Chain A
């Protein structure tokens, strides 16, 4: 049993805080038993690290797959409207244009107070259009992902059924082979019995014939 102030395994597994680590290090220096325990744990950990990681045989194609990508038009649209700064800039530009148009067309004709309402509604209309288009893209991606999940589950199910079918087929083959072996053994045993019976009957007759 270790007499270390903290568990030496936690020290090796890097689960201790810095002050706790220091306390363990000080203790290990002065305690032969704990030093040996630490050495063995350290060697075990080092041995475990000798196993290398494998490269993935093929890249996970998921999102880079064409099926998951929205159309280029949607991508460009989403890329443009996806940015809050661009959205703000575009809204400000539209507002400026609207103000200029208003100033040119309606100067002096109507009081300026009535203008904000249609501008505000036009602006919110734009935002709604952008939101809808982003939603549509999301829906398309979601639908594609759901299709892929369904396909993946179907693939797993198919693989499972294949494994079961293989096992059944092998089982059947083994049973047939066993039946053949049993038949062969039965034939052999029958033949042997007949041979024994024949020899037991034939021997006296042969003896008789020899005597005659």
Chain B
């Protein structure tokens, strides 16, 4: 549990009244998470950074429209999702949204060995995530790496909870096939 002297909801209320410093603090709390979300769905660091900048600009402009400060996170990610898909559309206007694939060569997954996890496992995970469709991958990123609930994911992705579940379950079926045996062998 991270101790925070001032809660996000207080900062949001202050920022909505024009307190620039409060918004600054909100940015510093959320920028890394938003950047990583965008990095994993765009697969490009430069795009992710530019989009993160735009997301916070849009958030500042529209903060007064946020009725419930408790819903700040899904609201912010909704902006991020829209900004990313708007960029995809600008680059390939003829494509359907369902066909939009990140343009990067990788999936925005940082692979690197650490003292906790071996490099082989990270590579296997990156490879497995690459096999997912963009929607499935985004669902996994929002659930596993960003920790959103189904309902919040539905709000971010602007689709029914049932759609969120089906994307996530399908993704897990594939990931399980790819990763569970590898991990099991590694452990045993």
Chain A interface (Cβ within 8 Å of chain B)? 9, 13, 15, 39-41, 43-64, 68-70, 78, 82, 134, 137-138, 141-142, 145-146, 148-149, 152, 155-156, 159-160, 163
Contacts and interface: CB of A to CB of B under 8 A. Distances in A.
B140 interface: yes
Interface string B83-122: 0000100110000000000000000011110101100011
Contacts of A70: 20
Looking at chain A's contact residues, is the secondary structure mostly helix, strand, loop, or mixed?
helix
A188 B124 CA distance: 49
A13 B168 contact: yes
26 contacts: A13-B168, A15-B149, A40-B184, A43-B180, A44-B179, A47-B182, A51-B110, A51-B111, A51-B125, A51-B145, A52-B112, A53-B33, A55-B32, A56-B49, A57-B45, A59-B28, A62-B57, A69-B20, A78-B18, A82-B17, A134-B18, A137-B18, A148-B57, A152-B50, A155-B50, A156-B87
Most chain B beta-carbon contacts within 10 A, residue among A138, A149, A163: A149
A43 B177 CA distance: 11
A92 to B, nearest CB: 23
B57 A64 contact: no
Interface residues of B, number: 58
Nearest to B30: A60
A76 B4 CA distance: 27
Interface string B48-71: 011011101110110000000000
B13 interface: no
Contact of A40 (B19, B110, B169, B180): B180
Nearest to A56: B35
Given A62-B57, A138-B18, A9 B172 contact: yes
Contacts of A68: 20
A127 B35 CA distance: 42
Interface in B119-148: 121-122, 124-126, 140, 143-145
Contact of B121 (A47, A146, A148, A159): A47
Nearest to A58: B49
Given A40-B184, A48-B145, A50-B121, 6 more contacts: A9-B168, A49-B144, A69-B20, A146-B61, A152-B57, A155-B50
Contacts of A15: 149-150
Given A44-B176, A47-B179, A149-B61, A59 B31 contact: yes
A41 B176 CA distance: 6
B117 to A, nearest CB: 4
Across the A-B interface, give the 8 residue pairs with the lowest CB-CB distance, nearest first: A50-B117, A40-B180, A43-B183, A47-B179, A56-B35, A63-B24, A60-B31, A44-B176
A156 B88 CA distance: 12
Contacts of B116: 50
A48 B116 CA distance: 13
A124 B27 CA distance: 37
Contacts of A145: 57, 60-61
Nearest to B179: A47
